[in-house]
Chain A
Amino acid sequence: MSDDIEIGHEIPPLEIVVSGDDVRRYATVAQMPGQRFVSDEVARKEGLPGRILPGNMSMALLSRMLTEWLPEARLERLGVTFRGIVQPGKPLRCSGFVVDRREIADGVELECDVILEQGGERRTTGVAVLQLR
């Protein structure tokens, strides 16, 4: 499998719509008590257009994309920058591609750029490193 993955390889994208209930459920199990994640009213008082996804959830969805692509790989590193808010109820798209491939002692290490977009804008960008043995 890893022999097929070269620099430039595109990660199969994850395209989903996260509902307000999905966010509530994640915020509960991930112990993120912020009301801006579950209440439009509170979010608007904070100057937001309505409730938003926690940044951690955006990061976790990028991780889900990577697991669905290479379930046998070990995620070594995931680093992201939150560039804009992500809202429930609107389509979002996680994608990425391989930017480097390194041989390691007993396998291969893949470095990937990863992106979460909504409304055609990059809301979260980052880098992931996976190891395949």
Chain B
Amino acid sequence: MSDTLPFGIDQSLIGSEFDSSTSEPVTAEDIHEYAASLGETYAGYFGANPIAPPTFCMKFRGNRFSHPSIPADAFRRGFDAGKDIHFGVPIRPGDVVHTSNTLHEVYEKTGRSGSMVFVVSRQRMTNQRGETVATIDNRFMLRPKADA
């Protein structure tokens, strides 16, 4: 079995952390503005002590979204293919969100339009109490160079 994945990525890099970050404390205003930007009307997202809409967690992307071993120009030939979020406890004012990004999966598929490589980055988010806020798998579809 080969130890090398598409783009020459070493199999041993799967699961490795390539970024981590810690947010500023979330404010009630941050939550209000996010909810309002989506036209949300649920009262629990507003007021003095709101909870954040579930997708608020997507704000915390860290400093980089892909593993440095993946060529940056590959992303210019690809696109955001999707996300899968498992939600934990809601985010509330005063929470500090710690985000750890790991290279989760790299796999290749061949379709009618040729070869495609999928890169999945996993973000694990916890709050200041160590509780899981969300786990997000970000799936990017990249195309190898035509002459590769």
Contacts and interface: CB of A to CB of B under 8 A. Distances in A.
Contact of A60 (B44, B55, B82): B55
Contacts of A67: 40, 42, 53
Interface residues of B, number: 25
Interface in B76-131: 79-87
Q: How large is the interface on A (under 10, 10 to 19, 20 to 34, 35 or more residues)?
A: 20 to 34
A79 B139 CA distance: 11
B59 A30 contact: yes
A56 B42 contact: no
A61 B79 CA distance: 20
B46 interface: no
A132 interface: no
B37 A63 contact: no
A99 interface: no
A29 interface: yes
B50 interface: no
B61 interface: yes
A82 B61 CA distance: 18
Interface string A37-78: 000000000000000000111011101100110010011111
A109 B30 CA distance: 30
A55 B84 CA distance: 12
Contacts of B33: 29
B83 A63 contact: no
Contacts of B34: 29-30
Contacts of B55: 56, 59-60, 63, 78
B79 A82 contact: yes
Given A31-B59, A68-B41, A71-B42, A60 B87 contact: no
A49 B34 CA distance: 27
Given A64-B39, A77-B87, 9 more contacts: A25-B37, A29-B33, A30-B58, A55-B80, A55-B83, A60-B53, A71-B42, A77-B86, A78-B84
